[in-house]
Amino acid sequence: MSNLAESQYIPAVENPPGFRSVASPANSPLTHLEFGLITLAGGGAPFSWESRDREAIFYLIEGGCGVDASGGAGALSGALGPRASVFDGPPSALFVPAGSHVGLSASSDGVRLAFFSAPPSAARSPRIIGPDQVTVRNVGADAWSRRVTSVADQSVTSRMLVGETHNPAGHWSSYPPHKHDTRRTVGDGRGEAPMEEVYHYFVRPPDGFGLQMVYTPPDAPAPFERIYRVRGGDTVVIPRGYHPIVAAGGYELVYLWAISGEQVEYAAWADDPAHAWINRPR
């Protein structure tokens, strides 16, 4: 990951049927992650995918679909959903390792999925993660309390962490501001590791917005600071820097997040020292 890479804002567009690539190493500062969206109408032809040399996650946004996966690491079949929306009920997902063939068949109401992939660092088996297998935690306090759902961690994938965060109206998350762009031991003994990240947003009611900040320490090489007004369907690529976000008053905000790097580890981040006091016991 280049130390000179800055964040990238990708506005929402109407998603065509099938697959749309949103951000990847070919068109963004990302070096590992690929992020796309899949939209399938009910009763349409099945969607096929070859994972080739990348592990991949098919993440349910809304609707439902049947899934089949086969390859050298094994085969499975099952279903994702139904799910009314990212604001209604926990997610589910399909993980497949490199060398897999995937088939998706939308339910009668259709399906929308997020797609994440990265080059693997170890062998894994295909897996369906059901709503009862995700990890849901309420974190933070006061106006930075939020619900964090972890869908895929190191036990599922070798080089990705994937989940979603729900901000109540007016609440902050990724807060206190934290970053994960340097390999070092931080003050509390935890390790910070360089990992890139993608955020993809949903807002309810849909005319609302959130404010996404991305900024570096002032002494960082090529420091920068950006503030994006994000709406439903927008995406921000975060190769480095602190990245807090707040939902506008009156509007709930959910964002999908995916993290990757040479080595991934949940919580391998460092808080902005100017604001780390917020997490201290009261």
Within a domain: 189: yes
CB distance 257 to 164 below 8 Å: yes
Within a domain: 68: yes
Nearest-CA neighbor of 210 among 156, 170, 240?
170
Count of beta carbons in the 10 Å neighbourhood of residue 32: 22
> Range of 197's domain?
10-279
Interatomic CA distance for residues 48 and 14, integer angstroms: 21
CATH of the domain at 262: 2.60.120.10
List per-residue pLDDT tens for the chain, 282 residues long.
Answer: 445 799 999 999 999 999 999 999 999 999 999 999 999 999 889 999 999 999 999 999 999 999 999 998 999 999 999 999 999 999 999 999 999 999 999 999 999 999 999 999 999 999 999 999 999 999 999 999 999 999 999 999 999 999 999 999 999 999 999 999 999 886 666 789 999 999 999 999 999 999 999 999 999 999 999 999 999 999 999 999 999 999 999 999 999 999 999 999 888 999 999 999 998 877
Within a domain: 222: yes
Interatomic CA distance for residues 37 and 24, integer angstroms: 12
Instruction: Provide the pLDDT for residue 60.
Output: 98
Q: Which residues pair with 48 in a beta bridge?
A: 103
How many domains are there within the chain?
1
Instruction: Provide the pLDDT for residue 188.
Output: 62
Distances (CA, A) of 145 to 91, 134, 137, 275: 20, 19, 10, 16
Instruction: Provide the pLDDT for residue 85.
Output: 98
Interatomic CA distance for residues 99 and 55, integer angstroms: 8
Within a domain: 41: yes
Within a domain: 74: yes
Within a domain: 4: no
Within a domain: 127: yes
Instruction: Provide the pLDDT for residue 185.
Output: 82
Within a domain: 81: yes
